[in-house]
Structure 1
Amino acid sequence: MKVSVIIPTFNRAYCLERAIDSVLNQSYRDFEIIVIDDGSTDETESLLQKLLERSAQLRYYKIENSGVSRARNLGVSKSSGEWIGFLDSDDCWHSHKLQRQIDFIHSNPKVQLVHAHEKWVRNGKEVKIPKRYQKSGGDIFIRSLDQCMISPSVALLSRNLFQRYNGFREDYLVCEDYDLWLKITSEYEVGFIDEPLCTKYGGHEDQLSMKYFAMDYFRVKSMQWILENRELEISKKLALLDMLIKKGSVLITGYLKHGNFKDLHEVKSIVESASQIKCSLLKEKL
């Protein structure tokens, strides 16, 4: 059962080798590594040329800077594995990560996506993960409304599942993972391994989550898509509407406070529509 490991990277020569080595050191050996260099201007290219000499399982493509979604999607298109794993270039896998997940898939053949716990390291020190960020399996759609409940670096999913949803949205600057996982969890339960299989390193300035404000704009857009394209049971639909209204209202307050009117009308329209749908649903329940 071949796994294609996709590593997007941009100007992370300082940590990329650690990520690649964590895959090369996997106890499970049937994999390929595809690194997509998203237009790096540091020493990434020379580092990868050196690493290519160490392993025939490693391939490398360099493209103009297009964003992490484009890089991941391109990596998948260049791959051949039945299963797809993603690894952010500042994270690293534990040596038994793939073996644990492949064993889980063999024992649960209907599962199309399996993820796990992770370790967090911030500024060189391991930190305790707050309860609201603790991962879980099964039906996690409602939990996934507030924030991303699956880390790309820990997920392993079937190629068929990834292709069914056309991969990551390339028009999203951030929250592209939230969007894909929300689409998947609206229709599927997910597998889960109750142990850390990846270490995520944070605190550095080049993390996308530290570059962008008003990230909930993209989450609101994703919830709107689900609302328009999924037939949800009423409890899930109400939970979605509540979260959409909550996040949209916070965005509107922030837009008005800071004089940012670019997305104000769009978000107001989405929130007003969601409020009307919620009122109609509640009347039907009476």
Structure 2
Amino acid sequence: MQNPLVSVIIPVYNRQDFIADAVDSVLAQKYAPFELIVVDDGSTDDTARILSAYKERICVIHQENAGVSAARNRGVRAAAAEWIAFLDSDDYWLSGKLTRQMAWFAANPQMRICQTEEYWIRKKKRVNPGRRHQKQQGHIFKPCLWLCLISPSAVMLHRSLFEQHGGFNEALPACEDYDLWLKITCTEPVGLISTPLIVKQGGHADQLSARPGLDRYRIAAICHVMASGRLSPGQYRAAAAALAEKCRIYAQGCEKRGKRKQAAWYRNLIQDPSAGVSS
């Protein structure tokens, strides 16, 4: 697509059962012009063959397995548009997603990031998100500390905002989205379209969010944003409170597994968050 207004990035690794639905949901969008870039992060299943069937309709980038952050960042580097939208390979969009978001930005020209509401499917059954998962808008840094309230599949943001914060942290094997949203929300308001325009599918074993011990990556992300110098005094206090609680819980888990040195390190981190910047 020449001169696209939106670049859509799908990172994929071994998702032969989902990738066609994700791609089809983007290609079915009526908004134009947009481009679709799929970054195959070293898949070893039938993903590459499935993607080859789309030929000239999408751009496919193949790379050795480097993780979802590297795949998303690679897609953005290849993108031609000023607006970037992401879609996880196990999710899919509903009709009108791109049109609604671009219309929202046209009506709110001061904003650089917006997401939509979503439906949840868990093990092929519709479930309702809990109240604590309810999405918010505006300056949402403090609630984002406790729970990741922005979905990659629902978000669209201006390329300048993505590049301003360095993209996704490729050193984090998980919670990379939590890390980026904290860096963005501490200074940037987030818009919300209250209509569900994506479907998030969960419950399968290979989900990154199903990995054990994810709080250690969230702890690292909080340490990073505390060290950034971007937080107001109130934001810093809120981050310190979230860090203390997450370290306390994670240290308790380490103690139960007999990892006393690791537990002590996380307890000490409460007093010295800078020690977690390089972790």
Counterpart secondary structure, 1:199: strand
- Equivalence for 1:99: 99
Provide closer, same or farther for how the CA distance between residues 163 and 263 of structure 1 changes in structure 2, counting only shifts above 3 A: farther
CA distance in 1, matches of 2:69, 2:232: 30
- Per the normalisation by structure 1, the TM-score is 0.91
CA distance in 2, matches of 1:108, 1:148: 24
CA distance in 1, matches of 2:178, 2:97: 22
- Equivalence for 1:257: 256
CA distance in 2, matches of 1:232, 1:10: 35
1:1-286 matches, cutoff 5 A: 2-53=5-56, 55=57, 58-210=58-210, 212-260=211-259, 263-264=262-263, 266-273=265-272
What residue identity is the alignment partner of 1:172? L
Unaligned 5+ residue runs, structure 2? 274-279
CA distance in 2, matches of 1:164, 1:236: 20
Counterpart secondary structure, 1:142: helix
Check the 8 A contact 1:7/1:72 in 2, yes or no: yes
- Equivalence for 2:277: none
1:231: how far off? 4.3
CA distance in 1, matches of 2:27, 2:168: 25
1:139: how far off? 0.7
Check the 8 A contact 2:186/2:230 in 1, yes or no: no
Counterpart secondary structure, 2:17: helix
What residue identity is the alignment partner of 2:19? L
CA distance in 2, matches of 1:216, 1:238: 19
Provide closer, same or farther for how the CA distance between residues 79 and 263 of structure 1 changes in structure 2, counting only shifts above 3 A: farther
The CA RMSD over aligned residues, in Å, is 1.4
Check the 8 A contact 1:116/1:136 in 2, yes or no: no
Check the 8 A contact 1:186/1:230 in 2, yes or no: no
Counterpart secondary structure, 1:229: coil
Counterpart secondary structure, 2:53: helix
Count residues in correspondence.
Answer: 270
Deviations 1:227-253 (A, max 9, x none): 222343333222211111000011111
1:206: how far off? 1.1
CA distance in 2, matches of 1:43, 1:142: 42
CA distance in 2, matches of 1:234, 1:170: 28
- Per the normalisation by structure 2, the TM-score is 0.93
Counterpart secondary structure, 1:14: coil
Check the 8 A contact 2:187/2:230 in 1, yes or no: no
What residue identity is the alignment partner of 2:36? I
1:70: how far off? 0.5
Check the 8 A contact 2:145/2:239 in 1, yes or no: yes
Unaligned 5+ residue runs, structure 1? 275-286
1:265: how far off? 5.0
What residue identity is the alignment partner of 2:5? K
